[in-house]
Amino acid sequence: MRRLGFIFSCLLGIVFAVSCRDDNFTPWTVSAETTTPVTKPARIESEEIRNVVIMVSGGFNSLSSYLRQDLMDLSENYLPGGYRTAHVLLVLSRLPADGSFATTSAPVLYRMYREEEGVVRDTLKIWPQGTQLFGGTTLRDALQFAYDRFPAKGYGMVLSSHGSGWLPEEYYFDPSKFETNASSSGGNVWNAPARRTGKWYFPEIVEDGAPVKSIGQDKDGSNAVEMDLVAFRDALPFHLDYLLLDACLSGGVEVAYELREKVDVLGFSQTELLAEGFDYETLMSRLLVSDPDPVAACRDAYNYYAAQTGINKSAVFSAINLREMEDLSGICRTLFQKYRYPLAMLQGSSVQGYFRYERHFFYDLKDILVKAGISAEEEAQLDAALAKCVIFKGATPYFMQGTQYGFAIQCHSGFSMYLPSMGSAYLDHYYKDNLAWNQATGLVQ
């Protein structure tokens, strides 16, 4: 049953009540002593047509109840039928064992399928208590285990957790840890020169202090462990046919370009995501089939929110063919060089942003260049490059309409991007030294 009401998966604002059921769905509470994997053979006659979906549920944090419900939605809807079915759903999960974080929890990898008696969850591997899903090598080891154990025609992943796109670990929640001039009050956030000299405005954003991080988060007490974009890329040990990032603010061109050699199709959101994220009631009917359709999964998610009313009618999704990114990087490199001065002077208030609470890190890629003054001919070239790689995009007219930090969505290219004129020397340095997009385009010099 789909949750009712409204909550942000990244908890960046007012928290509204939702109706969640407690079905005692706790495959992650298996004792650490029961570590023997299921002994049934993984190889079947149809492995040449088999598709494997790996659901990564990183909810040892403030999202635990919502990710638990996502798994319930999966179990109550379309699942592979029987152990010897052609397609395989694997779940890598770390969620609090008792719902209160009172005890340490361990990541667990299990296979989920449906028998006549009900849903079966075969435990394949359990990590030691206290192991972090996004710390160390856990994610990479789990993916390699799945790849070795379940040979298949194709592999896809759905990752659900906190997210803040390309930003360095922990930066989103507290820039003052990184910026000596950053402050929590004052400053004209729309004044580019002031912005560059460190007059920051970062209001209090989270009721319980839980930060929104790069890609994935484990929150053990006061210690939060996350993966930045480059670490996440390196944790993918084999090629994925598709990756759906059910995480806030992940829809940047920086994320797409970094993953272009690891993934074919990438689905993500340029804005925050409401708590329900992707449509988990229909998701596996799109993916656990002979010809998986991750683009349809993105379209389903957008259509669900577009049919809502009020603040729940808030969604921005796109699907990207990562094999067609080079034309975009080429035209952007040319335009970034030609319009370097206008870009440096660009006021953030004139550009389509995808952030709330004055988090000036995510602007629309095309609108940045249009507002920098590119010609009609150059805009047509940019549109052609975008059309090659953006295979689906959908945006509601507003995000959180009627709320203090809501905003209109007047243009949507399918990508967000860093706007250096609204950034900082620290972010410029990180961007230049770490991200493949900058190496290809020279946005930051």
**What is the pLDDT, as a whole number, of residue 104?**
65
Fold of 4-165+215-320: Rossmann fold (3.40.50)
The amino acid at 9: S
pLDDT (0 to 100) of residue 61: 66
What is the structure's pLDDT at 287? 97
The three-state secondary structure class of 106 is: coil
Residues 6+ apart with CB under 8 A from 309: none
Taken in order 147, 79, 49, 303, is the CA torsion positive or negative?
A: negative
At residue 109, the 3 state secondary structure works out as strand
d(C-alpha 215, C-alpha 33), whole Å: 30
Structural contact between residues 288 and 305, judged by C-beta atoms closer than 8 angstroms: no
What confidence score (pLDDT) does residue 213 get?
A: 36
Per-residue pLDDT, 217: 65
Per-residue pLDDT at 404 = 84
Residue spans of the chain under pLDDT 70 = 1-47, 59-62, 98-104, 180-224
Q: Dihedral angle at the C-alpha atoms of 215, 216, 219, 224, nearest 10 degrees? A: -30
pLDDT at 386: 98
Question: What pLDDT shows up at residue 226?
Answer: 73
Percentage of residues of the chain with pLDDT beyond 70: 76
The DSSP result for 179-207, as a single string, is: -TT--SS-S-TT-HHHHHTT--------T
Q: What is the pTM of this model?
A: 0.84
Residue 226 to residues 58, 126, 223, 247, Cα–Cα distance (Å): 10, 20, 10, 13
pLDDT, position 163: 84
CB 139 within 8 A of CB 56: yes
